[in-house]
Structure 1
């Protein structure tokens, strides 16, 4: 037995005709007759009295119709509730701090417009912490920066940004900078370990065997920006975050050929993860972010 045969039986009983049932269901009359016959064989009882232009339910057919009507009503109700579930469940979204500061709220606002009933749970932390949450299946999808384990995740790059080394002009006047080693001698204001920006900066210096010893460490880029403008040392922040202060000369960029720092933003989820409609939409929205 299957739902398809039940619907055919229901329509034939309603129309009292296999031909009219076939027309209503956009089927051929032989296909309707075959489905009814298979149902009768499975039940081992006749359901219809067949006449030249009419098909009338047998007593057994009448009893069976009551059960089928109740079953199909319940089945259709279940389908309606399943449709609502797609828009009512909670989508667990992670984001690295830099992406959250930049454009996460814009993307999530657009997602909410597309799915007004969607519940979202958002967690913002370092890229490494967010990736750990994904592995533990505590998040469904995430926005992260930097290098990602391609074996564990589906990684979809959607934008890039440059990282600038900046400091107050007076700080840079104290000592000339001609190499990365010179930078390492300054007080350094760095993001916390595990952040994508910190990883990019340290990787650049480690290529030249130069360890970094931060004077300040923070999960908050804005705090580092303020510290740099007050003359506490050199910091490394996204270009967009420092552009205005570079223009008004509150900060000055440290420019070296070796200091070409760039990060790539990805939207990430576990391999074999079911990607539902809301996640597909989130991925499309991420790709509306301009590439820098």
Structure 2
């Protein structure tokens, strides 16, 4: 005996006819007849008297109908309650500092415009910390820089950015048309902290070219690094999205280095065992739509 059996039985009682109940439920008439017969066999009772091609509910049928009505009503109430809680449950989102400065507000503004009754709780942290929180189920999804390597993390690329090499306007390198990465190693570096996604990409590039840099500044603040570059304390490598206004305002200069690829992708990540809720999918769709327009 299943909930389906009870729903079919209640429909037959309301309609007074197997044919009408089948039409109302959008199922075949034999399926309705079979469900009634299975109920009668299961409980060893007769639910309807069939007289002159009409159905008359029996006393035992009346008793079952009372319970069937209560059970189906309670089930419907449960579904509505659970779906309502799920619909308005906060979406726990993580973002790296770079992505938060570049995109997060645009994503959240569009999400809240589309779904005004939903709430988001946001954590801005390093990419490494966000990956750890995804693995511990402390976040529903996160936006990180660089490629996550843990096998339990699902990753979806949503934007391609590039790192740019920066120096002060008065730096001698601004007069060079051709620079190699080896030329840069003579200079003091101002870099993001080691736990950041940006720094991880830079370190991997340096490792690829068998080079090593010991920065004189390490900071989680991109603005602090830009200020240091402007004042001539050294050169830096930062995401274009974070410094494009500085470049447009010509407060710093970009250096172009031969034979080095500084492209990198941003990823939306979540645990591969995590159920992707409608709220998660809606946020992902918005992220993809917004960055397509960038």
| TM-score where L is the length of structure 1 | 0.91
Contact 1:159 1:291 (8 Å CA) reproduced = no
Describe the superposition over 1:46-103 as per-residue Cα deviations: whole angstroms up to 9, x where unpaired.
1111112321111111111111111111111111112212311122111111111101
Q: How has the CA–CA distance of structure 1 residues 62 and 168 changed in structure 2, closer, same or farther, with 3 Å as cutoff?
A: same
Describe the superposition over 1:253-274 as per-residue Cα deviations: whole angstroms up to 9, x where unpaired.
2222044312211111122221
Aligned to 1:276: 277
Contact 1:87 1:115 (8 Å CA) reproduced = no
Contact 1:115 1:278 (8 Å CA) reproduced = no
Aligned to 1:107: 107
The count of residues paired between Structure 1 and Structure 2 equals: 292
Aligned to 2:91: 91
Aligned to 1:198: 199
**Counterparts of 1:108 and 1:283, CA distance in 2:** 11
- Shift in Å, 1:108: 1.9
Contact 2:101 2:242 (8 Å CA) reproduced = no
- Residue 287 of structure 1: SS of its match in structure 2? helix
Aligned to 1:188: 189
Q: How has the CA–CA distance of structure 1 residues 148 and 27 changed in structure 2, closer, same or farther, with 3 Å as cutoff?
A: closer
Contact 2:95 2:124 (8 Å CA) reproduced = yes
Contact 2:191 2:225 (8 Å CA) reproduced = yes
- Shift in Å, 1:119: 2.4
**Which structure 2 residues correspond to residues 1-292 of structure 1 after superposition, within 5 A?**
1-149=1-149, 151-172=151-172, 178-288=179-289, 289-290=291-292
Contact 1:10 1:68 (8 Å CA) reproduced = yes
| TM-score where L is the length of structure 2 | 0.90
Describe the superposition over 1:191-211 as per-residue Cα deviations: whole angstroms up to 9, x where unpaired.
010212112222222333322
CA RMSD, aligned part only? 2.3
**Counterparts of 2:200 and 2:123, CA distance in 1:** 21
- Shift in Å, 1:178: 4.5
Q: How has the CA–CA distance of structure 1 residues 165 and 16 changed in structure 2, closer, same or farther, with 3 Å as cutoff?
A: same
Q: How has the CA–CA distance of structure 1 residues 168 and 37 changed in structure 2, closer, same or farther, with 3 Å as cutoff?
A: same
Contact 1:91 1:121 (8 Å CA) reproduced = yes
**Counterparts of 1:26 and 1:207, CA distance in 2:** 64
